[in-house]
Structure 1
Amino acid sequence: MKLQKAERHQVKLRIGLSGPSGFGKTYSALLLAPGITNDWNKIAIIDTENKSASLYSHLGDFNVLSLEEPYSPERYLKAIKLCEESEVEIIIIDSISQEWQGRGGCLEIHEQLGGRFNDWAKVTPRHNAFIVAIVQSKCHIITTTRRKVDYSLDQDSNGKTKVMKLGMKEITREGFEYELTVNFELLNDKHLASASKDRTGLFMGKPEFIINSNTGKKLINWCNQGISIDKIKEQINTCESLEALKQIYNQYPNLSKELYPVVMSRKQVIDAVSNQLIDSHSIIENNNPNLIPEENEFSTT
């Protein structure tokens, strides 16, 4: 446990776009992404919306992975991993609502297990693995989420029943928004958006706007301000001692998961060099014992 000065590290963006059907979630995601990467070939979209992404192929040469039912968390995980292995920079998941409410999604899995409260103990870890894959991905992630309008039946002061609009609820498990850097809510079929959650401070409280590539540029500029993970990795790969390696690793506890594989790889190199020196020393000592000074030769007395 260690108290440290607060620092913002360069991170991968986790962006949410949510809204009812027809409000332009897919289109907005495809306008946002090139502002972040400036290269259509580095964009991949996991399409669960009946190949709707292909309707926008005229925008650029992005990659499409069509994901059909069953929409289990494991199939999403496989799709995300495939995109990551393809060395893309941005993954658009359009949409995550199918993982929760679609055929073969979490709600259906729960129902097939019996629909009891205790059955969530088997479903929740599978859903959490899907969330972790998004949060820990080496790529920027843009997710789209369907929204539905919630209503309730209430009585007014005269005892008359009336329908009350409660607002728009995202079709995914509650709490997903907390994992995002920014969550944009599309408000109408004119594609106007506002930020319902914003860690960057760039959009919260600002007037409604239409998402475009400039939105992506603002986000990537914000993202690139701070300590570069790549720079830290360069420091690790130039370490000459285990002590220096340990100091760098302990300096960035919030990045331990990202840095651990690099640290261990460098440790193996340092250990190998150290073992070679020990072996060489032993050979010299065995073959030429007179060349190895006795300990007392270094004495100053």
Structure 2
Amino acid sequence: MKIQKAKRHQVKLRIGLSGASGFGKSYSSLLLAFGITNDWSKIAIIDTENNSASLYSHLGDYNVLSLVEPYNPERYIQAIETCESAGMEVLIIDSISHEWNGKGGCLEIHEQLGGRFQDWAKVSPRHQSFIDKILQSKCHVITSVRRKTDYSMDSDMSGKTKVIKHGTKEETRTGFEYELTVNFELVNDNHLAKASKDRTGLFMNKPEFVINAATGKKLMHWCNEGISINDARAEINACSSIERLKEIYEKYDSLKAETHPLIVKRKEELDLVKSQIIEEKEIVNQKSINNYDGTN
């Protein structure tokens, strides 16, 4: 155990968007993603919504991975790993609702096992593996979640009564939003959003607004505050001892996934230098011995 001074290191964003059908989850996710990376080619969207992601291809040359049933957790995990291997910087999962209540999703798996309470012992670990994959991904991740639709009779500013569509409960396992950096709820078909969870403090208790690329840029600016991987890389490259490498590894605790390969590479370089020094010393010593013996 070790106590350290509190510092906010660079983090990968975990953003949620939820709303009823037609509220603009896919479009808003793409604008957010572009604001984060400013490069359409580094954005991938895992599309479970019948190829709806391609409807916005006019925005830019982003990448699409179409995911069809069965929507079990393992197939989602495989899709995420495929996007990571392709070098994507921002990953959109549109949507995660199918993993929970879609064809082949967790609710159906539970039902096929018998639908008993004890059957969740087999389903919950599979679902948690999917959640962990999102949280541990080396990409920034944006997830969209469907909300069940409800309707009400409301009056507009002119006093006319009309039917308004609302989103109610999220269609995924309860508690997912608590894992996120920010969770945006799209509240109506005018694409207005509000934050229902916000670790950044940028959006909570603020007026409703329309998500755009500037929202992503604001989040990225927040994300980049504090100590970055570039700071860690510079210290590692300048390091001249194994002991110091260990200290750097512990110092950047939240960046261990990124610093580990850099640490290993630098250790190999230092070991090589050390072996070369030892070899040179042995050569010098041997020459000294030979000169002393008069054999050279």
| Structure 1 contact 285–291 (Cα < 8 Å) conserved | no
Instruction: Give the equivalent residue in structure 2 for 1:124.
Output: 124
What secondary structure does 2:61 align onto?
Answer: coil
> Structure 1 129/262 Cα, relative in aligned 2: closer, same or farther at 3 Å?
farther
The answer for unaligned runs of 5 or more in structure 1 is: 151-166, 293-301
What secondary structure does 2:197 align onto?
Answer: strand
Instruction: Give the equivalent residue in structure 1 for 2:80.
Output: 80
Residue 149 of structure 1: CA displacement? 5.6
1:243 equivalent to 2:243? Answer yes
> Structure 1 286/88 Cα, relative in aligned 2: closer, same or farther at 3 Å?
same
> Structure 1 272/127 Cα, relative in aligned 2: closer, same or farther at 3 Å?
farther
1:37 equivalent to 2:14? Answer no
Deviations 1:110-155 (A, max 9, x none): 22222222222222222122112111111111110011269xxxxx
Deviations 1:23-59 (A, max 9, x none): 1111111122111111111111100000001111111
CA distance in structure 1 between the partners assigned to 2:215 and 2:62 by the alignment? 18
Mapping for residues 1-301 of structure 1, pairs under 5 Å: 1-148=1-148, 168-289=168-289
CA distance in structure 2 between the partners assigned to 1:96 and 1:209 by the alignment? 24
Residue 105 of structure 1: CA displacement? 1.2
| Structure 2 contact 93–143 (Cα < 8 Å) conserved | yes
After the TM superposition, which segments of 4 or more aligned residues of structure 1 sit over 4 Å from their partners? Answer: none
Give the AA of the match of 2:249. Y
Q: Which range moves more in the overlay, 28-37 or 177-186?
A: 28-37
Q: How many residues align?
A: 277
Residue 92 of structure 1: CA displacement? 0.6
CA distance in structure 2 between the partners assigned to 1:67 and 1:23 by the alignment? 22
> Structure 1 241/19 Cα, relative in aligned 2: closer, same or farther at 3 Å?
same
The answer for unaligned runs of 5 or more in structure 2 is: 151-166
Return the TM-score normalized by structure 1.
Answer: 0.86
What secondary structure does 2:2 align onto?
Answer: coil
| Structure 2 contact 232–252 (Cα < 8 Å) conserved | no
> Structure 1 240/80 Cα, relative in aligned 2: closer, same or farther at 3 Å?
same
User: Alignment identity in percent?
Assistant: 67
Give the AA of the match of 1:174. T
What RMSD in Å do the two structures reach over aligned CA positions?
Answer: 2.1
Residue 291 of structure 1: CA displacement? 7.9
